[in-house]
Amino acid sequence: MMAIPLCGALAMLVPADRFLPTDLAVRRFGAAVSGATLLVAVSALTAFDFGATSRTQLDVDRAWAPAIGLRFHLGADGISLPLVVLTALLTFLCFLYTLRHPPAGGRIRLLTALLLVLEIGLLGTFTALDLVLFFVFFEVVLIPMYVVIIVWGGPGRRAAASKFILYTLLGSGLLLAGMLLVAVNAGTLDMTELARRHGAGLSHGVQVAAFALMALGLAVKVPMWPLHTWLPDAHTEAPTVGSVLLAGVLLKMGTYGLVRVALPLAPDGARVWAPWLGLLAVIGIVYGALACLAQRDLKRMIAYSSVGHMGFVLLGIATLTPVGVNAALFGNVAHGLITSLLFFLAGAVKERWGTADLDELGGGMLGTAPRLASILTFASVASLGLPGLAGFWGEMLALLGAYRPHADLPRETFVTFMAVAALGAVLTAAYFLRMLAKITHGPADGAAARGPAAITVPEYAAWVPLIALTLLVGLWPKTLLEVTTAPVRALFGGG
- More confident call, 4 vs 455: 4
pLDDT at 448 (0 to 100):
64
Q: Strand, coil or helix: what is 105? A: coil
Q: 192: which DSSP letter?
A: H
Q: Under a CB-based contact definition with an 8 Å cutoff, are residues 150 and 157 in contact? A: yes
**Mean pLDDT, residues 33-37 taken together:** 93
Residue-range definition of the domain harbouring residue 381: 3-491
Cβ atoms 261, 182 nearer than 8 A: no
Instruction: Report d(CA 121, CA 381) in Å as an integer.
Output: 32
228: pLDDT strictly greater than 60: yes
Q: Is the pLDDT of residue 495 over 60?
A: no
Residue 294 has pLDDT above 90, yes or no: no
State the average pLDDT over residues 469-491.
Answer: 88
Give the helix/strand (H/E) hosting 70.
Answer: strand 70-76
If residue 472 lies in a helix (H) or strand (E), which one and from where to where? helix 457-475
**In angstroms, rounded to a whole number, what is the distance separating the alpha carbons of residues 6 and 65?**
21
172-227: pLDDT as tens digits: 889 999 988 888 888 788 888 888 888 777 888 888 899 999 999 888 888 888 88
Give the three-state DSSP class for 389.
coil
Mean pLDDT (the chain, rounded): 86
For the chain, what is the domain count? 1
- Predicted pLDDT of residue 442: 67
Mind giving me the DSSP string for 210-248?
HHHHHHHHHHHHTTPTTS-THHHHHHHHS-HHHHHHIII
